[in-house]
Structure 1
């Protein structure tokens, strides 16, 4: 009979098809049952992740008329914050990448997981592009139009022209077949990949901004209007990286 340590080590390497798995199901030791139950739960979660991954691929391919059509997913990060740029990304993925199983809307993942996935996306993508839309442009145009122009720019910056563009909740003025997908980062693998690249690029930018302006704690709230952030704006005033047309910054500036 295998020891609990041996069972744990074998389960970590198991594919679920080994003959000894059947014997483990009959093991009545409490420790063995716990190991079996934990492993079984992980197997089920892995299966669900794989199914979700395949559904996202199927969603993207449903917009293609040819097998070799290239789909670009487009998404943004940073429309809501009081400071920092809005960042957009466009990604064209191959039809299947095993390493990207588990890729989801960036808001559903931890920062470490997003960082890991960003590396894999950049490694395997057929093409990708990232664009930073400045605070000045956001104040000049308004956040919607600034984001729309940034999304347009990021698609045009791709080194390979896609056949289809799927954009998260945005219509783009480009001469490529484009579809606006509501909650696209939860439905499309390409849009989810773009959301990861946009979010990780913006987080890195805000971390660098924190080094210049540590009193605002940009590395903690990424520019969003938290209570602490607003208190710091009231105490120190807005920087050139704050959006002057956003409330409460607009009112704070009016009172100064």
Structure 2
């Protein structure tokens, strides 16, 4: 019997998800180097997919426990934008269905821009509710960045179309009447907080790209307001703009 073409084997392997499929046993007897390479790639893909599934299960532990306790609407809360020298702090609140699967969820800072964008769309599509809270640079200067971050989180909760029964909050404790757990590095430990982290970062990055069109000297489209070399050069050569945080160093040196 004529051996199957390698290109056809590649197509077939792309459809398989079971490591015990008899087709794989037959391929293991094929001595062609190209076939063995495809097999190795197939098993690496399965290992990677299994690792994502295991990570997802691990990150749903808080949500599973809360659902078992009777909580129906669990909101993950996170914020983005504490460190930048310009622009607002943006928070998101996300309530996910109990049975949702969003493989690859993680702290938004650990994801590529492409993967973050894909997950952003998937979260918006599958979430029960998404809320956004924004506190601008003037309020940050007035009340300080920690209080501004908490305020943005509370605004995000108020923006939800469904009232949450419990909150999973990244790091900080919020002053509200809803029961909450405050998780250190929560965006890497809870799928709900990770989803909120992704929503908040995408929203803020897009907002800073819009600000770049108005204030083009600071590379906001690339640094989102953080103190990169291009941003600092912009400050040096053009001074501050309308969205800089005046209480932050080195911005206050240019007042």
Measured against the shorter chain, the TM-score band is over 0.9
1:26 deviation in Å? Answer: 2.3
Q: Equivalent residue for 1:188?
A: 190
Counterpart-to-counterpart distance in 2, 1:79 and 1:144: 8
Is 2:64 aligned against 1:54? no
Q: Report the 3-state secondary structure (helix = DSSP H, G, I; strand = E; otherwise coil) of the residue aligned with 2:60.
A: helix
Q: Equivalent residue for 1:151?
A: 153
1:124 deviation in Å? Answer: 0.7
Q: Equivalent residue for 2:125?
A: 123
Counterpart-to-counterpart distance in 2, 1:139 and 1:67: 41
1:56 deviation in Å? Answer: 1.2
Listed one character per residue, the Cα deviations across residues 26-85 of structure 1 (whole Å, up to 9, x for unaligned) are: 222111111110110010010010011111112222244534522100001111000111
Please show how residues 225-240 of structure 1 align to structure 2 within 5 Å.
225-240=227-242
Counterpart-to-counterpart distance in 2, 1:31 and 1:96: 40
1:25 deviation in Å? Answer: 2.0
1:185 deviation in Å? Answer: 0.4
1:2 deviation in Å? Answer: 1.5
Say whether the 8 Å CA contact 2:71–2:165 is kept in structure 1: no
Equivalent position to 2:219, from 206, 217, 220: 217
Counterpart-to-counterpart distance in 1, 2:98 and 2:233: 47
Counterpart-to-counterpart distance in 2, 1:56 and 1:169: 16
Q: Equivalent residue for 2:178?
A: 176
Q: Equivalent residue for 1:38?
A: 41
Q: Which moved further from structure 2: 63-72 or 213-222?
A: 63-72
Equivalent position to 1:86, from 52, 74, 89: 89
Is 2:15 aligned against 1:13? yes
TM-score by length of 1: 0.95
Equivalent position to 1:112, from 101, 111, 114: 114
Q: Equivalent residue for 2:105?
A: 103
Is 2:6 aligned against 1:4? yes
Which runs of 5 or more structure 1 residues have no equivalent in the other structure? none
Which runs of 5 or more structure 2 residues have no equivalent in the other structure? none
Root-mean-square deviation over aligned CA pairs: 1.3
Counterpart-to-counterpart distance in 2, 1:175 and 1:81: 30
Aligned residues: 252
Say whether the 8 Å CA contact 1:57–1:95 is kept in structure 2: no
Q: Which moved further from structure 2: 121-130 or 24-33?
A: 24-33
TM-score by length of 2: 0.95
Listed one character per residue, the Cα deviations across residues 152-178 of structure 1 (whole Å, up to 9, x for unaligned) are: 121122111111101101100111101
Q: Which moved further from structure 2: 178-187 or 22-31?
A: 22-31
